[in-house]
Structure 1
Amino acid sequence: MTYVIHGATGAQGAPVVAALAAAGKSVTALTRNPDAVVDGAHVVVAGYDSVDDLTQAYRGADGVFVHLPVVSEEDRRTYARNILAAVREARPARVVFSTSGAPIDPDTGGAAAVLAAGLTEAGVSHAVIEPTFYLENLLMPFVMDTVRERSMLPYPIRADFPASWASHLDIADAAVALFERPDVTGTVSVGQYPAITGPDLAEVFGVHFGKQVVFEPITPEQFRASVAPFIGEEPAADVAGAYTAMRTLADRSISPENSAQKLLGVTPRTTGQWLADIGL
């Protein structure tokens, strides 16, 4: 059985490769870097911008793990359409798509919504992993430097805003389970439940680092300025826009009815477990 993993050398794809390889599966690692070496996987050079490359990579696959890169939304929509064209042509046995926290409401017209709807229309076996916030966001230098130097945890949400945080490791656990469970289709929410607030996060960071850490709500604009040097101005503006829209919401909690906990028996890590697992 062969599994094709997008972004295999990146933060989201690498844990999926590692989990499948550890389970003894045959893994094809997709990357744009011809010099990449991925432990436990056969490396194939293929980009989101080539339907032909994607079709060739998908053909005969027992599973494909897909997520969209952090680029402009216009490019993401192009990539989503290319992925769908390749899926329709190659007909892999199973596709697991992680939204990476992007909305899949068709009214938004966003790339994640286009890809999720297109997979349904393509008629292939698939499931959509829907996380909310990634714990790895808290590893950004702007956040971690503030924790270490000022004992404050900055993030662009209200202090009273509960969210179901998840790690890339949790997404990998869910993806592997979904490859093994073709009977589970539709959307699977991955994240901590009950949801936790910013001060809850800060308290766990304080325990981990052995000092008191206080949560610091910041504005989406402050967050945009902090991440732009790493992901680019246009993607950073898109991210800031998403956090601005969230300020009107009461929470961003998963629903237990379609959670990985209920559907797959996969329980995401607590924040403390995650900090220990990554060896921070």
Structure 2
Amino acid sequence: MTYVIHGATGAQGAPVVAALVAAGKSVTALTRNPDTVVEGARVMAAGYGSVEALTEAYRSADGVFVHLPVVSEADRLAYARNIVTAVAAARPGRVVFSTSGAPIDPAVGGAAAVLADGLADSGVSYAVIEPTLYLENLLMPYVIDTVRVRGALPYPIRSDFPVSWASHLDIADVALALFDRPDITGAVSVGQYPALTGADLAGAFGAHFGKDVVFEPITPEQMRVSVAPVIGEGAAADVAGLYEAMSTLSDRSIAPENSAQKLLGITPRAIGQWLTDIGL
């Protein structure tokens, strides 16, 4: 059985590749550079911008793991449509799509919603992984360095804003399970439940590092300025806009009725376990 993984050398795709390889699966790693070496996997160069390349990559695959990159929303929309067209043409055995926290409500719109709707209409077996916020966001230098230097955890959410955090490792666990569960379709929520407040998050970091850590809410604009040098001005502005919109919500908690805990029996890692697993 062959599985095709988008962004196979990136933060989201690499853990999925590792999980599949560890399970003895045949893996095709999609990258931009055909000379890239991915341990245990065949490498294929295929970009989101080419329907033809995507169709070739997906054809005869038992499963495809896809997520949209952090680029401008205009590019994400084009990529989403290309993926849907390629899936419809190649008809892989199953597609697992991680929203990366982007909304899939058609009323809200956006690239993730276009991709989720397209998969639902494709006639191909699919599932949508819905995380809320990634723990890996907390590894950005402006966050983790501040934790280490002055015992504060800065993040652009309110102190009383509960979040069902999940890690890329958790997403890989769920993706691997969903490839083997074609009976599960539609959205699967992934994240800690009950959700954690900023104080809970800071407390978990403090317990792991053996020091007092306090939560420090910052504005989306402050976050934009901090991440722009890392992900680019356009992507940083888009991300800041998402956090600005999030500030109007009461929480980012998963719905337990369609959670990975209930549907798959998979519980996301606690903060301390995640920090240990990534070697911090």
1:1-280 correspondence to structure 2 within 5 Å: 1-280=1-280
Unaligned runs of 5+ in 2: none
CA distance in 1, matches of 2:20, 2:153: 34
Distance in 2 (alpha carbons) for counterparts of 1:64 and 1:248: 34
What is the deviation of 1:247? Answer: 1.1
For residues 8 and 161 of structure 1, the distance between their equivalents in structure 2, rounded to whole angstroms, comes to 32
In the TM superposition, what is the alpha-carbon distance from 1:207 to its structure 2 partner?
A: 1.1
- CA distances 1:36-69 after superposition (whole Å, capped 9, x unpaired): 1001100001000011000000000000000000
Instruction: For residues 80-111 of structure 1, give each alpha carbon's deviation from its aligned partner in whole angstroms, at most 9, with x where no partner exists.
Output: 01101100000001000000000001122200
Q: Does the residue aligned with 2:130 lie in a helix, a strand or coil?
A: strand
Task: Please give the secondary structure, in 2, of the residue aligned with 1:251.
Answer: coil
- Identity across matched positions, percent: 79
Report the secondary structure of 2:107's partner residue: helix
Secondary structure at the counterpart of residue 183 of structure 1: coil
- Tell me the amino acid that sits aligned with residue 57 of structure 2: A
- Determine the C-alpha separation between the residues in 2 that align with 1:33 and 1:232: 21
Deviations 1:204-244 (A, max 9, x none): 11111111001000000000111111111111111111111
TM-score by length of 1: 0.99
**How far is the alpha carbon of 1:34 from its aligned partner?**
2.0
Q: Which one-letter code corresponds to 2:214 in the other structure?
A: V
Q: Quote the offset at 1:145 in angstroms.
A: 1.1
Show CA shifts across 1:147-190 (max 9, x none): 11111000000000000000000000000000000000000000
Question: Helix, strand or coil for the counterpart of 2:35?
Answer: coil
Instruction: Give the aligned residue type for 2:15.
Output: P
SS of 2:188's equivalent in the other structure is strand
Where 1:69 maps in the other structure, the secondary structure is: coil
SS in 2 for 1:165: coil
What is the RMSD of the two structures over their aligned residues, measured on CA atoms? 0.6
Q: Once the two structures are superposed, what CA deviation does each residue of 1:14-36 show, in whole Å capped at 9, x if it has no partner?
A: 00000000000000000001221
Cα deviation, residue 77, structure 1: 0.3
Paired amino acid for 2:248? T
Which residue identity does 2:92 align to in structure 1? P
**Counterpart secondary structure, 1:66:** strand
- TM-score with structure 2 setting the length: 0.99
Query: 2: distance between equivalents of 1:33 and 1:10?
Result: 13
Query: Which has the larger displacement, 33-42 or 126-135?
Result: 33-42
Q: Letter of the aligned partner of 2:125 in structure 1?
A: S
